[in-house]
Chains A and B, each alone.
Chain A
Amino acid sequence: MDTATTPAGRGRIGPLTVVGALWSPATWRALTHLVTGGAIGLVAFGALFTLFIAGIAGAPSIIVPLVAGSVILTLNNALTVLQRSRHRAYLHLDLPEGGLPLRFSINPRKLLEQFGDRKTWSRLAYHSIGSVAGPIAATIAVTAWVVGLSLLAAPLFPIDGPTEWNPFAFSAIGIVVLLAAPWTTRGLAAIDGLMATRMLGTSRSDELERRITHLAASRDSTVDAADAERRRIERDLHDGAQQRITALAINLGIARSTLTDLPEEGRRALAGAHEEALQAMEELRDLVRGLHPAVLEDRGLDAALSAVAARSPVPVRVKVDVPGSRPPRDVETVAYFMVSEALTNVARHSGATKATVDVSQRGSVLHLVIADDGNGGADPGGGTGLRGLADRVRSVDGTFHLHSPEGGPTTIEAELPCAS
């Protein structure tokens, strides 16, 4: 904010300041501000008053108040944009830039929605007050200048009349008025500016909302980038190292089967190398699956989940009911890793003899339930990967519930919104 717009640069008022204010740019900007405000106020007063009266008078017809209400809303937005730019230009206030929707609609629901918004009313209040106070303030400011100058110039235009006043006394009063004029002007402008900041500016909740949207977007793009990177690494490993190590294992296997006349030492080494290669193959496959399983990418959740369940040492029963098109990729990924991690926990910690996985889509929500008949007592803070699960679910704005009393059974539920 320009310091010159605060009413009378407090505490530092010397003679120079007082006189200097007469030709200070801030004074002239404030005057222009008030004059334009007055002009806008007059137009706004006419329009708002007419619309208001029309709306009241036409109330029985229903359509007239709807149209009037809608025009008021449109006008309200247009005036807000105009006033904000006026405050930015002349008072250098930090008000939001950019347009507000000027769509004209007489849909009662939309009207109600807008009229239900506090911001609509606070802006309308500014324009209503401004439509009366604006012209008044402009008049006061302009009058101060005109009267001051006229009185100052009194000795030049002697008036015949019964006055006994000395024309130079007029001049003296003129000087006082003129010296006061800049401060009146700037004071009035500052009051207007204060009102605009309160009533046309963004509220704290707006600001928070904007930041949340921004943060959510940047989180999504981080998650997406991480996912894309995992997919890329998976592809690279699959096309490169995995193929090569499989070929290596095959060749070692062939050598092991054919070179049977090697000395014992050599045969043992060959057998060892083959087993190592097989082990490496398996480890690499598990690693790749943990990064991003190809079956999930290619065939979707249903196929991927039966593979996960089939690998579980605890017998698992899977039911997937996801009709229609596939859920978004990130939701599928979260659901997959959630089931995968949960079943790992079941096998490691629960002591369960069986488990079930139920996945169903209701509306636009993917519902997951993983249950086992184990000992329960799972603790999300226990570092068993449960906290990781909850984090994954949160990354797609899902909800996560763990029910695991001592003695069991354990149920994990999650709901993942699939809105794309």
Chain B
Amino acid sequence: MRVVIAEDSVLLREGLARLMELGGMEVIDTVGDAEALLRSVERDCPDLVVADVRMPPDQSDEGVRAALLLRRSHPDLAILMLSQYVEERYAVELLTGETRGIGYLLKDRVARVDEFLDTLKRVVEGGTALDPEVVSQLLVRRQSSELDTLTPREWEVLTHMAEGHSNGEIGRLLFLSDGAVSKHISSIFTKLGLPPNDTHNRRVLAILKYLRENGKD
């Protein structure tokens, strides 16, 4: 597993590199801006990119823009975005279309080493990882009354589902049996009027699409 890290803070960059190595990955390059990231991916063809949303020169959304470019040019590349604060717009942009191998996390999560490595693994294996705060921000924008018909338990399941967890993981996190999780999920899909989906990524996509469409704009 070959990784490129794009992060302009040297301290965090070094910490991330050490973490990756701990997770058994090979850090082939560390860069400090989006231009260098694009060049590095062209040259070294990594399997995973971990990139900051804000990077020089503008400290704006260079990282997200680079990630969107890479998404098109290297569809198999797994990407994990790190951000100082959550912006659901970016998360949604990144997840539009294809949700394979993509993650969007707050930087603070990195320090929870074990959890972070689990998330990283999920992304590398082609899954999705959405920061819990992204999901709760999407839910804050809800304009649909259907969401309000969810039971608190279904609400929790929906949140974890949107974060990209599998049935098994949701069961573990909420102390539920697989059967109970499946029952909640089908109930959620029925209440929201979504077509039932068998594959995990399609399911996440359906939920996010729903949240986005019933949110602002």
Question: A318 at the A/B interface (Cβ < 8 Å)?
Answer: yes
* Chain B CB within 10 A, most for which of A246, A294, A298, A306: A306
Q: Chain A's nearest CB lies how many Å from the CB of B26?
A: 17
Instruction: Assess whether A247 is in contact with B113, with CB atoms less than 8 Å apart.
Output: no
Question: B178 at the A/B interface (Cβ < 8 Å)?
Answer: no
Instruction: Assess whether A247 is in contact with B12, with CB atoms less than 8 Å apart.
Output: yes
Question: B216 at the A/B interface (Cβ < 8 Å)?
Answer: yes
In the bound complex, residues from chain A placing their C-beta under 8 Å from that of B114 are 253, 257
- Looking at A9-17, A81-89, A222-230, A274-282, the stretch in contact with chain B turns out to be A274-282
Instruction: Assess whether A316 is in contact with B140, with CB atoms less than 8 Å apart.
Output: yes
Closest Cβ neighbor of A240 among chain B residues: B11
Question: B190 at the A/B interface (Cβ < 8 Å)?
Answer: no
Instruction: Assess whether A258 is in contact with B22, with CB atoms less than 8 Å apart.
Output: yes
A258–B117 Cα distance when bound, in Å, is: 13
| Binary B-proximity of A181-201 (CB < 8 A = 1, otherwise 0) | 000000000000000000000
- The A-contacting residues of B in range 80-111, CB under 8 angstroms, are 84-89, 107-108, 110-111
Instruction: Assess whether B216 is in contact with A319, with CB atoms less than 8 Å apart.
Output: yes
Bin the interface of chain B by size: 20 to 34
- The B-contacting residues of A in range 286-320, CB under 8 angstroms, are 293-295, 298-299, 302-303, 306-307, 309-311, 315-320
* Chain B CB within 10 A, most for which of A247, A256, A277, A294: A247
A246–B9 Cα distance when bound, in Å, is: 11
Contact of B113 among A256, A282, A294, A320 (CB under 8 A): A256
Contact of B14 among A247, A281, A309 (CB under 8 A): A247
In the bound complex, residues from chain B placing their C-beta under 8 Å from that of A303 are 87-89
A403–B187 Cα distance when bound, in Å, is: 39
In the bound complex, residues from chain B placing their C-beta under 8 Å from that of A317 are 140-142
Instruction: Assess whether A277 is in contact with B108, with CB atoms less than 8 Å apart.
Output: no
In the bound complex, residues from chain A placing their C-beta under 8 Å from that of B133 are 307, 310-311
A251–B110 Cα distance when bound, in Å, is: 11
Give the interface SS of chain A, mostly helix, strand, loop or mixed: helix
Q: Chain B's nearest CB lies how many Å from the CB of A398?
A: 24
Q: How many residues of A are in contact with the other chain, CB < 8 A?
A: 36
A299–B53 Cα distance when bound, in Å, is: 13
In the bound complex, residues from chain B placing their C-beta under 8 Å from that of A79 are none
Contact of B15 among A247, A281, A307 (CB under 8 A): A247
Contact of A298 among B9, B16, B60, B113 (CB under 8 A): B60
In the bound complex, residues from chain B placing their C-beta under 8 Å from that of A319 are 141, 143, 216
| Binary B-proximity of A379-401 (CB < 8 A = 1, otherwise 0) | 00000000000000000000000
Closest Cβ neighbor of B113 among chain A residues: A253
Instruction: Assess whether B85 is in contact with A293, with CB atoms less than 8 Å apart.
Output: yes
- The A-contacting residues of B in range 54-68, CB under 8 angstroms, are 54, 60
Q: Chain B's nearest CB lies how many Å from the CB of A274?
A: 8
Q: A294-B84, A317-B142 are in contact. Are A253 and B12 (CB under 8 A)?
A: no
Question: B137 at the A/B interface (Cβ < 8 Å)?
Answer: yes
| Binary B-proximity of A249-282 (CB < 8 A = 1, otherwise 0) | 1110110111000000000000000000110011
In the bound complex, residues from chain A placing their C-beta under 8 Å from that of B139 are 310, 315
Q: A250-B110, A307-B85 are in contact. Are A243 and B137 (CB under 8 A)?
A: no
Question: B19 at the A/B interface (Cβ < 8 Å)?
Answer: yes
Q: Chain A's nearest CB lies how many Å from the CB of B139?
A: 8
Instruction: Assess whether A299 is in contact with B140, with CB atoms less than 8 Å apart.
Output: no
Question: B112 at the A/B interface (Cβ < 8 Å)?
Answer: yes
Instruction: Assess whether B18 is in contact with A250, with CB atoms less than 8 Å apart.
Output: yes
B residues engaging A (CB < 8 A)? Answer: 9, 11-12, 14-16, 18-19, 22, 54, 60, 84-89, 107-108, 110-114, 133, 136-137, 139-143, 216
A residues engaging B (CB < 8 A)? Answer: 238, 243-244, 246-247, 249-251, 253-254, 256-258, 277-278, 281-282, 285, 293-295, 298-299, 302-303, 306-307, 309-311, 315-320
Task: For the complex of A and B, list the 10 residue pairs with the smallest distance between their C-beta atoms, beginning with the closest.
Answer: A253-B113, A249-B111, A250-B15, A310-B136, A247-B11, A295-B85, A310-B137, A309-B140, A306-B137, A247-B15
